[in-house]
Amino acid sequence: MKTPTPTACVQVRLREARANLTVDVQCLVCSTELKYHGNTSSTIRHFTAKHGAAVNQGDTSVDRKRELDGALVNMVVKDSQPFSIVDDCGFKELVALLDPRYTLPSRRVLKEMVVKRYEEEKTKAKAVMQRVEAVSLTADMWTSINMDAYQ
């Protein structure tokens, strides 16, 4: 079993219970402590009963992961979010609630996805610019306190 990192959102505590080792897992939604004995049955039962959601035990499909990754890239770009948002506990909790099967990319992978999107958009913009016959540019070089433009 991997030792959780200090920044892990899931609080896992090991303790000796009678003669065998058990693991306590804490639900990220309601903070209920659950026992973990090598499978996810109790956590799925808890999530379904207490949070009214059917849990699909399969992995997120490739298409769905691609869609969610794209939405994450859009949010990071549009809202000027740092790549480190994927390490924030609150954000992880939100994503886990919205789609428990989705695994967030690391900072490094998110950065690579943003750079790839930038290159794609740059290529599209160049293609559009190559098709136009003329371009007209204007610049507002100075604006007064009253917002009067002077050129």
| pLDDT tens readout for residues 89-120 | 999 999 999 988 899 999 999 999 999 999 99
CB atoms within 10 A of CB 110: 21
14, 21 in Cβ contact below 8 A?
yes
Cα–Cα separations (whole angstroms), residue 50 to 5, 37, 42, 45, 53:
28, 20, 12, 8, 8
| pLDDT tens readout for residues 34-79 | 777 666 777 777 777 777 655 555 556 888 899 999 999 999 999 9
pTM over 0.95: no
Of 135, 151, 132, the closest CA to residue 143 belongs to 151
